[in-house]
Amino acid sequence: MSIIENHKTNGAAFCENPKLKARDVGVFYGEKQAIFDVSLDIGANEVIALIGPSGCGKSTFLRCLNRMNDTIDICQIRGEILLDGENIYDPKVDVVPLRARVGMVFQKPNPFPKSIYDNVAYGPRIHGLAHSRVDLDEIVEKSLQRAGLWNEVKDRLHSPGTGLSGGQQQRLCIARTIAVDPEVILMDEPCSALDPIATAKIEELIDELRENYTIAIVTHSMQQAARVSQRTAYFHLGQLIEVNPTDQVFTTPQHTLTEAYITGRFG
């Protein structure tokens, strides 16, 4: 069991215009419980940062939001997650279109062993989003432009995606995610393998993407959380300790555990 008894999340876990609602979410890996009764709203067009010490359950919680945990055999989920009011764990829900609506960008850029063009065209092809080659060309160009990569790759669209630099590969993965026109983008430490310049580009991009998408980002960088997010959720040993506007979390945290983390006393 967790060491924090009778816990209740501090601050503002709910919001007026939720895109995603998690209610009493518990996650188990076999016998071991990794997430305890987490209830949280993620607002439309907001960027929410998920922070906390290593092993506190950030990735586990993020993966609940598009059922990526389904791919882990021993993983079991309790509670509800609603996307636009509908429970994504309803047995009727098909995870393939769900994961197009709720896309994910991973820590390590993972382009497919295909050309830059085909990396981006892959999703639109399998979801039947393009009716002609011209359509597909347009989706590829628009996605690469939105991901801030078009100018760097427009003359080499048919070269392998794996031949790009790390930061370019990560922007390629973002382009691949947005090519299927998702509603939510989940990002698990998307900049941890990148240098400060590539990181700055991705952060700028996150800020632009917010106009059209809802974004949840896990980060170990408090500076990054402060730069890109409007709300910050602090996790500790599988519990959601505090959720508040980001500036408040970093200036006047409500819970002593949050304060200890942001002032570097542990983590």
Ligand X SMILES: Nc1ncnc2c1ncn2[C@@H]1O[C@H](COP(=O)(O)OP(=O)(O)OP(=O)(O)O)[C@@H](O)[C@H]1O
132 scored as a contact of ligand X (CB under 6 A): no
Total count of residues recorded for the chain: 267
- DSSP letter at 201? H
3-state class of 228 per DSSP?
Answer: helix
239 scored as a contact of ligand X (CB under 6 A): no
**Region from 8-16, 55-63, 83-91, 125-133 binding ligand X, contact rule CB under 6 A:** 55-63
55 scored as a contact of ligand X (CB under 6 A): yes
Residue 186 binding: pick among ligand X, Mg ion, none (C-beta 5-8 Å cut-off by kind): none
167 scored as a contact of ligand X (CB under 6 A): no
Q: Hey, what long-range contacts does 66-69 have (CB within 8 A, 24 or more apart)?
A: 66/95, 66/98, 66/99, 66/101, 66/102, 66/103, 66/104, 66/184, 66/186, 67/93, 67/95, 67/98, 67/99, 68/99, 68/104, 69/27
Residue 56 binding: pick among ligand X, Mg ion, none (C-beta 5-8 Å cut-off by kind): ligand X
The DSSP line for 28-71 is EETTEEEEEEEEEEEETT-EEEEE-STTSSHHHHHHHTTTGGGG
Q: Which is nearer to Mg ion, 52 or 167 (CB)?
A: 52
Give residues with Cβ within 8 angstroms of 108, minimum separation 6.
193
CB of 261 to ligand X, least distance (A): 12
Q: x/- contact string, 56-75, with ligand X (CB under 6 A)?
A: xxxxx-----------x---
**Region from 6-14, 54-62, 154-162, 240-248 binding ligand X, contact rule CB under 6 A:** 54-62
Cα(28)–Cα(69) distance, integer angstroms: 10
* Interacting residue with ligand X among 54, 71, 132, 151 (CB under 6 A): 54
Residue 72 binding: pick among ligand X, Mg ion, none (C-beta 5-8 Å cut-off by kind): ligand X
CB of 165 to ligand X, least distance (A): 24
6 scored as a contact of ligand X (CB under 6 A): no
E strand or H helix at 260 = helix 256-262
Q: Which is nearer to Mg ion, 50 or 209 (CB)?
A: 50
Kindly list the residues in this chain that would bind ligand X in the complex (CB under 6 A).
Answer: 29, 34, 52, 54-60, 72
